[in-house]
Amino acid sequence: MQNNKLLVGITGGIGSGKTLACRFFEKLGFNVLYADEIARRLYKTNSILKYKLVSEFGGSILDEKGNISGVDSRKIIFSSKKNIKRVNKIVHPFAIREIDKLIKKINDKVILIETAILFESGYYKRVDYTILIFSDKESRIERVRRRDTVTRYEIERLMNLQMNEKEKLNKADFIIKNNSSVKNLEMNIRTFSKILRNLN
């Protein structure tokens, strides 16, 4: 617990529904910090981070305006596990410092932090509890196909770049299953929120 604030990390593989779960937590009054959104904002505002990324990956990650290109940088970063580790090593310290600043400004007792790489990054050691939004492989593939109109091959390639779901299951303190409807997930979040409010 940090300054009497309970920090809870939320994660899940691609297509698991972790962001949707966090939106439901927000509807119930919880404060959620989204690590990916924070990192994307830092790409635009932090010149030191931008310089480090360009030094590591080259100018091809920049768009015509000289900003980090989301499309081009993702093509390079997600081309291999090695590249993912390289970018995370650079970005993590900046993102963690920013998250810590935001946490200090929030007065809520419980703060949720959503990050796709909660366990891979080691950030789970900085929170009090971890939640895994878990969904079976076929459900995840179908959601991503509907959302991003990408091929099954591409989705499975991205899945293989992430930590194995069994490892996450073994590491997580709490597991919320999302193998059914959106309504069912919302009901599960409502039920779990009562537990969350009583953690200490």
Query: Does residue 99 share a domain with residue 10?
Result: no
Indicate which CATH number applies to the domain containing 185. Answer: 3.40.50.300
Query: Does residue 156 share a domain with residue 119?
Result: yes
Retrieve residue 62's tokens.
């920049």
- Model pLDDT for residues 82-124, shown as the tens digit of each residue: 988 999 999 999 999 999 999 999 999 999 999 999 999 999 9
- Domain residues for 159? 1-30+110-200
Query: Does residue 70 share a domain with residue 25?
Result: no
Query: Does residue 26 share a domain with residue 49?
Result: no
Query: Does residue 91 share a domain with residue 139?
Result: no
Q: Residue 123: name the closest of 10, 31, 13 by CA.
A: 10
**What is the Cα Rg of the chain in Å?**
17
Each residue's pLDDT expressed in tens, for the chain with a length of 200 residues? 566 899 999 999 999 999 999 999 999 999 999 999 999 899 889 999 999 999 999 888 888 888 887 777 888 887 888 988 999 999 999 999 999 999 999 999 999 999 999 999 999 999 999 999 999 999 999 999 988 888 999 899 889 988 999 999 999 999 999 999 999 999 999 999 999 988 86
Query: Does residue 88 share a domain with residue 178?
Result: no
Query: Does residue 42 share a domain with residue 10?
Result: no
Query: Does residue 121 share a domain with residue 171?
Result: yes
Query: Does residue 9 share a domain with residue 50?
Result: no
Query: Does residue 114 share a domain with residue 26?
Result: yes
Q: Are strands 110-114 and 31-34 parallel, antiparallel or unpaired?
A: parallel
Query: Does residue 120 share a domain with residue 23?
Result: yes
The residue out of 76, 107, 138 marking a domain boundary is: 107
Count of structural domains within the chain: 2
